[in-house]
Amino acid sequence: MVTQVYIPRDSSALSVGAEKVASAIAAEAKRRGLEVQIIRNGSRGLYWLETMVEVATENGRVAYAPVKPSDIASLFEADFLNGKSHALCLGLTENLAWLKQQQRLTFARVGVIDPVSLEDYIAHDGYLGLTNALKLSGAEIVKTVTDSGLRGRGGAAFPTGIKWNTVLGCEAEQKYIVCNADEGDSGTYSDRMIMEGDPYVLIEGMTIAGVAVGATQGYIYLRSEYPHALATLNEAIANAEKAGYLGENILGSGKTFNLEVRRAAGAYVCGEETSLLESLEGKRGLVRFKPPLPAIEGLFGKPTVVNNVISLATVPIILDKGAQYYADYGMGRSRGTLPIQLAGNIKHGGLVELAFGATLRELLYDFGGGSASGRPIRAVQVGGPLGAFLPESQFDTPLDYEAFTQIWAVLGHGGIVAFDDTVDMAKMARYAFEFCAVESCGKCTPCRIGSTRGVEVIDKIISSKGKPEHAKTIQLVRDLSDTMLNGSLCALGGMTPYPVLSALNHFPQDFGLPATAEAGKA
């Protein structure tokens, strides 16, 4: 009998040796004359346990983790191919508490299936959404997405259905669907996990978008740092074309949708949608003035839907199970689920998909297990390099767009980066300015000049600690932040004050101020 063994091909799993584990298992099986079929799945998202090897048994998949090449001989000795016990055995994967406590809608198949196998995708409810969509009018598809309450998961949380409706309402001989796969935020990797672990769900979501608004060409703008995602996407697109899920006359519907991956080139600002469009057109990624919105004048001047990977990859389940099914999850105006990414100094880092409403504390401690270093978690940055730093007193904030706005923070793309008590928050503020200076597109002065000035001012704050001019330098950084907040063309310059001022306000002692000064003030 051939035993099926699952070993992830996800880049994070590869980063800790999954490839060596896979070849060691293949070699050992051969040596012992045992027949195994190795399936390279995506990651289940329990990254601290990579490389996680799963064996299909009659009771379900049994997990062994974290497996190193040096464990292979003993795993075979213990008869792991029959799911037998071993020091690394975690039991049935589906019973792992970390997974059981999640609500995986967008990530339902990630880690479960062979990412490039179209048969596997279809066997796990793939393409049911598109099949339904093809029976509806464009307006009906858009209404379903609107009714689901789905908001842009790239960070700005604009309602996806309303964006699509603008494009649907435009008359044009050509429209485009552009997937923003630039995933520049540190602490985020959910886009990558989808592209590497379930690429067809993104392809299906983009196809539904195309059918809905009448766009026949799609582009995935993929960051150049993701070579594995590139290979997986290209393989999946080729398979989908061959099977009639992409190209002309999709599934006999008479509709056309073509899809192509374009590589970005390492500029953070190109994740901003108008900069991205410039880049796709082959130009420097200078941010455009809005209006006109990309929905009206986007790629090559044509109406264009620009959506994040997760937004698009969530569309198939909405079209499959219905708007209400999705909207039933969540709190307030944040409907559905959010794939949260635990990162930085965290013991159990990984992907947690939950309905909106869980608190930061639950994520950091119940899922994350506290810091990796074992020291207290002092600060977390949520929402990437342009997101605010939150102190422990704010860890009970629920993950909800509006709740975060209320405390002058951003949920963004759902990345949570933890820092222990060795962090120097003045240094983090300096880094925020430095990052903005490196990545600024240079189009507007508050960002281009302000960021460089910001680095200098923070240096002055640090060097003037305890001196009379110190108070003046603090005022300087506040004024500068004000200018950037109000005078920048895009959120790169406009949101850099979030990490800077939140660090200053919540951790004043790191800037040479008394611990109580202005805490909580934005």
Partner 1 sequence: MQDIEITQDENLAIDALIVRHQRTPGALLPLLHAIQDNIGFVPESIYPKIAKALALSVAEVHGVVTFYHHFRTHKAGEHVVQICRAESCQAMGSEALEAHAKKCLGVDYHQTTADGQITLEPVYCLGNCALSPSVMVDDEIYGRVSSAELDALIAEARR
Ligand X SMILES: NC(=O)c1ccc[n+]([C@@H]2O[C@H](COP(=O)([O-])OP(=O)(O)OC[C@H]3O[C@@H](n4cnc5c(N)ncnc54)[C@H](O)[C@@H]3O)[C@@H](O)[C@H]2O)c1
C-alpha torsion angle, residues 122, 125, 131, 135 (rounded to 10): 170
Nearest approach in angstroms of CB 189 to ligand FMN is 12
Q: Given the complex with ligand SF4, which of 304 and 440 has the nearer CB atom? A: 440
Tokens of 230: 């590139």
Tokens of 118: 């179209």
Report the alpha-carbon distance of residue 306 to residue 302 in Å, rounded.
Answer: 12
Distance, CA of 120 to chain centre:
24
Q: Given the complex with partner 1, which of 133 and 503 has the nearer CB atom? A: 503
Nearest approach in angstroms of CB 492 to ligand SF4 is 4
Query: If binding is defined by CB under 6 A, does position 341 make contact with ligand FMN?
Result: no
Query: If binding is defined by CB under 8 A, does position 11 make contact with partner 1?
Result: yes
Q: Residue 94 binds what, of ligand SF4, ligand FMN, partner 1, none (CB under 5 to 8 Å, by partner type)?
A: none
Tokens of 395: 């860890």
Distances (CA, A) of 494 to 78, 230, 447: 58, 31, 8
Q: Which of residues 256-315 bind partner 1 (CB under 8 A)?
A: 262-268, 279-285, 300
**Cβ–Cβ contacts within 10 Å for residue 177, how many?**
30
Distance, CA of 317 to chain centre:
18
Report the alpha-carbon distance of residue 83 to residue 327 in Å, rounded.
Answer: 39
Gap between the terminal Cα atoms of the chain: 64
Nearest approach in angstroms of CB 188 to partner 1 is 7
**31 touches 216 (CB < 8 A):** no
Residues that bind ligand SF4 (CB under 6 A): 269, 287, 440-444, 447-448, 488-490, 492-494
- The one among 42, 205, 271, 316 contacting ligand FMN by CB under 6 A: 271
Q: What is the DSSP string of 420-449?
A: ETT--HHHHHHHHHHHHHHH--SSSHHHHH
- The one among 413, 430, 453, 460 contacting ligand X by CB under 6 A: 413
Number of residues that bind partner 1 (CB under 8 A): 60
**445 touches 461 (CB < 8 A):** no
Q: Given the complex with ligand X, which of 113 and 277 has the nearer CB atom? A: 277
Q: Residue 153 binds what, of partner 1, ligand X, ligand FMN, none (CB under 5 to 8 Å, by partner type)?
A: ligand FMN
Write each residue from 62 to 101 as x if it is in contact with partner 1 (CB under 8 A), else as -, in one continuous string. ----------------------------------------
Q: Which of residues 322-351 bind ligand X (CB under 6 A)?
A: none
Query: If binding is defined by CB under 6 A, does position 166 make contact with ligand X?
Result: yes
* Site residues (vs ligand X, CB under 6 A): 152, 154-156, 158, 162-163, 166, 183-185, 188, 271-273, 293-295, 306, 383-384, 386, 410, 412-413, 490-491
